[in-house]
Amino acid sequence: MFCFYWRGFPVKYKVDCEVEYIEYADIEMYKYFYRLLEEIGQDSLIVMDSCMRTQNRSELIYNCAHHYLGQTPHRIIFEYFPIIESKADFMVLLDFENKGKYKGKGFDYVYLQNEDIKIKPVKVKLETINVETTEKDRERYEKKKEQLFDSLGEKDPDTIPRNLQILAGDIKKKAIEPDNLYVARNKRFKLDNVLSYKEITGKGNYSVIDIHYRRLNFNDFLRTTGMSKIKYLCTTLPIDTVIINEFAKWKARCDAIYAQASLYK
């Protein structure tokens, strides 16, 4: 039995046979690749656990995994959320199951029924905690926004909302309560009860100041903490409206998949 897992979520299975655990990043390494191609055979079982780490279905590391998976009919694919960001991400998991069958095909809900897929829905609810803004805060926001657009140059336009979220986060500082735990993009608040995403390694209940701009990292945070209710410090600034809308769209995509898949009981 071979188990491929991601370092953020190490696993240990209680099974009678010998298990080799291989970290996701090592899948494409030569030292593993050639050896595993020789060792994985028809009677091997491959478990892919939390290996959907990029949305690019053609990523070299996925291709390496497909080579291993193609050598045995015994495969189990585990993933916490069915997608990273878009529905198309689900095809990464189906490619693990059978690369050739879904080559070049886009997502279709019918696959959820055609394949042996069981889903245990992870329901997440977002609640907002309103943070008042002053005229001065709004002026500061507008000024920063204009400055970001003016100095964009060759930078990625997506850096604009990221930077505005940092500014909005600063405005939320006054709403931070000493008895609660919070998560923010970085350590800029210099408060013991405000942690960065990297620092959180276990279960807990955190109020969110900045939602991580990479969906995958935010999903990891939800899994690590086991939170089912997100309390988001929210201003009336447009950036927070954008963030809440984007989260609601992501949640709707997950819910649509949960609604049409067979449930794990």
Partner 1 sequence: MLRQVYINKTVLDAARERVSYVFDEFDNIIVSVSGGKDSTVLAHLALSEAHRRERRIGVFFLDEEVVYDSTIKQIEYILSLYPKNTIPLWIQMEFALTNATSLIESQLICWEAGKHKIWMRPKQANSIKFPPWDRKKETIRDKNKGFGFYDALDNFQNSRENTAFLVGLRATESPNRWRAVSKNPGYKDVFWCTKMKHGNVSMYPLYDWNFHDIWKYIYDNQLKYSNIYDYMYKKGMGLQEIRVSSLIHEKSFKALVELPEFEPKTYNRLLKRIKGISIGNLYGKDSKMLRVSKLPKNFKTWIAYRDFLLATYPDPERKPIFEKRFVRHLNNRYVARQQCRQLVLNDYENNLPVDNKPDPREAMIEKWRALL
**Smallest gap from residue 144 Cβ to partner 1 (A):** 10
List contacts with partner 1 (CB under 8 A): 28, 33-34, 58, 60, 63-64, 66-67, 100, 103-106, 145, 149, 152-154, 157-158, 160-161, 164, 238-239, 241-242
Q: Which is nearer to partner 1, 142 or 177 (CB)?
A: 142
Q: Which is nearer to partner 1, 106 or 202 (CB)?
A: 106
**Smallest gap from residue 146 Cβ to partner 1 (A):** 10
Q: Which is nearer to partner 1, 45 or 61 (CB)?
A: 61
Cα–Cα distances in Å, from 110 out to 81, 115, 255, 261? 18, 9, 15, 9
Q: Are 52 and 89 in contact (CB under 8 A)?
A: yes
Which position has the token pair 């693990």? 96
Q: Which is nearer to partner 1, 99 or 185 (CB)?
A: 99
State phi, psi for 95 to the nearest 5 degrees: -65, -35
DSSP letter, residue 128? E
In whole angstroms, give the CA distance from residue 82 to residue 120. 10
**Smallest gap from residue 203 Cβ to partner 1 (A):** 35
Helix/strand/coil percentages in the chain, nearest 5: 40, 15, 45
Cα–Cα distances in Å, from 42 out to 2, 5, 70, 73, 75? 13, 21, 10, 7, 11
**Smallest gap from residue 62 Cβ to partner 1 (A):** 9
DSSP letter, residue 119? B
Q: Which is nearer to partner 1, 33 or 80 (CB)?
A: 33
Tokens of 60: 């070299």
In whole angstroms, give the CA distance from residue 217 to residue 65. 22
**Smallest gap from residue 246 Cβ to partner 1 (A):** 10
Q: Which is nearer to partner 1, 103 or 198 (CB)?
A: 103
**Smallest gap from residue 32 Cβ to partner 1 (A):** 11
